[in-house]
Amino acid sequence: MDNIINIIAGKNQDNAKEGDYINSDGILICGKCGQPKECIKEFPPGSGRMKKFSVICRCDVEEEKAFRTRLERQEWKEYVKQLYKQGLTDSAYLKNTFENDDNRNPGITALCKKYVAHWEEHKANCHGILFYGDTGGGKSYYSCCIANALLQNGVKVLVSRLSDLVKNRINKDSQEINLKIFDLIVVDDIGTENSTQTAYNIIDDIYRYNIPLIVTTNLAPSELKNPDTIDKQRIYDRVLERCCITQKVDVKISRLDTARKRREQALKILNTQ
């Protein structure tokens, strides 16, 4: 035990830490993992002179790995933050996540989660979803759950109301959103836009770029199939072709559910002391 010396870092060996020691060969040994932190080699080769070199022990390797992981995680977080910045046109969309789901409609939640789980296949086949139903039923909610989950996985998603995309394209002062860069585009609330020509151009671009499309609308599929103008028909034809998964999001269920929840809540208060 005589050769166990607590070395103060920087005194003799630069890479020595507290607890390290020098063995009988004069080699610095890691006090934690027991591996050498130095080796002796002939240097320059063939010179017959021996020189001590620093080597890294297991702890150093793990420390380096942990550092890299932390760095990568940090960079990943930054990357995802950027995706959110370019993809969510309204910060309200942020709140709509699977984590915040009150599970009022387990069937729809399951469908959305499956879409996320099989994203690569849906992307390859350009499968989109049409969520339809009355206002307040949660169409935007479910489409944003998908968007948020995919953004977290590093997928480039754009979520915007069609009317905002139209405004963005008409307004020559604002920088036009480059639709081409996205992997998935969620077009919220179609059927309320004013300029049907611009709206058609936007939907047609998404169609031509082969970007999967998720759409929400108050219009029923029958209304989408038989709109009152040719312009609208051109838009909805594209939407119906791409949104091969159609899902009704029924407001009645959620209203009943809210009423039931309120009743339960009231009863709970009545039943407590």
> Which residues sit at the interface with Zn ion, rule CB under 5 A?
30, 32-33, 57, 59
> Would you say 56 or 80 has its CB closer to Zn ion?
56
Paired with 91 in beta bridges are none
Residue bearing tokens 């969510």: 88
CB of 30 to Zn ion, least distance (A): 3
> Would you say 32 or 248 has its CB closer to Zn ion?
32
Residue bearing tokens 């036009």: 176
Report long-range pairs for 125-129 (Cβ below 8 Å, ≥24 apart).
Answer: 126/210, 126/211, 126/212, 126/242, 127/212, 127/244, 127/245, 128/212, 128/213, 128/214, 128/215, 128/242, 128/243, 128/244, 128/245, 129/214, 129/215, 129/243, 129/245, 129/246, 129/247
Answer yes or no: are the C-beta atoms of 119 and 155 closer than 8 Å. yes
Handedness of CA 7, 9, 11, 15 (dihedral sign): positive
CB of 6 to Zn ion, least distance (A): 15
CB of 31 to Zn ion, least distance (A): 8
Cα–Cα dist 64/60, whole Å: 6
> Would you say 17 or 139 has its CB closer to Zn ion?
17
> Would you say 55 or 111 has its CB closer to Zn ion?
55
Query: Residue-wise over 252-261: b if at least 16 C-beta within 10 A, else e?
Result: eebeeeeeee
**Pair of tokens at residue 249:** 């999001």
Cα–Cα dist 177/88, whole Å: 12
> Would you say 59 or 245 has its CB closer to Zn ion?
59
Cα–Cα dist 75/63, whole Å: 18
CB of 50 to Zn ion, least distance (A): 24
Cα–Cα dist 204/211, whole Å: 10
CB of 60 to Zn ion, least distance (A): 6
Q: Which residue is nearest to Zn ion (CB)?
A: 30
> Would you say 17 or 122 has its CB closer to Zn ion?
17
CB of 17 to Zn ion, least distance (A): 8
CB of 11 to Zn ion, least distance (A): 19
CB atoms within 10 A of CB 133: 21
> Would you say 53 or 230 has its CB closer to Zn ion?
53
> Would you say 60 or 188 has its CB closer to Zn ion?
60
CB of 121 to Zn ion, least distance (A): 46
